[in-house]
Amino acid sequence: MYTIVAMSLKTHVAGQVRTWGYLLDKDLQHVPGGIATDSPGGKARSPRSVAIETAVFNDLLLAQAKGETVDMESFFGEGMGAYEASCPDTDAVRGAVSNSVNNLATWIDAASEEDLLKEVTAPWGMTMTLADLLLHASAHMAYHSGQVNFVQLLHGDDAMHWM
């Protein structure tokens, strides 16, 4: 027997953002300093870099949700540089990701359902509802959490740290 529980759109979207922020943080807690900046094969991005990108992307989505005009290329260029300068170690990166998750989820909590159903154009040019756009934060963190896990595995750590 299944029980269906109805939840509001904003509860779902904010919950997904918080969940994937939490899971990414659990993985980042287990990235030692040397691995955090490792670039497998000399080409792949480091766990530190991909985690910083999630904070920048969350900030970008929050800016768009607030109605600010965002240029993805300059937003990432400036945002990555600022975070890289202010996040010298894994703990600082974790704090930046956590702050970006909390800021985005708090904004979603305060938004109206009508706001979340408005059509917007994503920075990459696709039209969707604001809720769909904001769900990209969770997908983006999930994607990069997988990359962090892969680098951990390459270094012999085969544990599932989020469990």
- Regarding pTM above 0.75, the answer is yes
The CATH number given to whatever domain includes residue 19 is 1.20.120.450
Range of the domain at 75: 13-29+47-154
In a domain, 68, yes or no: yes
Q: Is residue 3 part of a domain?
A: no
Q: Is residue 18 part of a domain?
A: yes
- pLDDT digit string (tens) for 34-64? 888 888 888 888 999 999 999 999 999 999 9
Q: How many domains does the chain have?
A: 1
pLDDT at 2: 64
107 in any annotated domain:
yes
The whole-chain average pLDDT of the chain stands at 91
Task: Tell whether 4 is covered by a domain.
Answer: no
DSSP state of 122: -
114 domain-assigned: yes
Question: What is residue 108's three-state secondary structure?
Answer: helix
Q: What six digits make up the tokens of 69? A: 């005009």
Asked whether residue 147 is assigned to any structural domain, the reply reads yes
Answer whether residue 96 is part of any domain.
yes
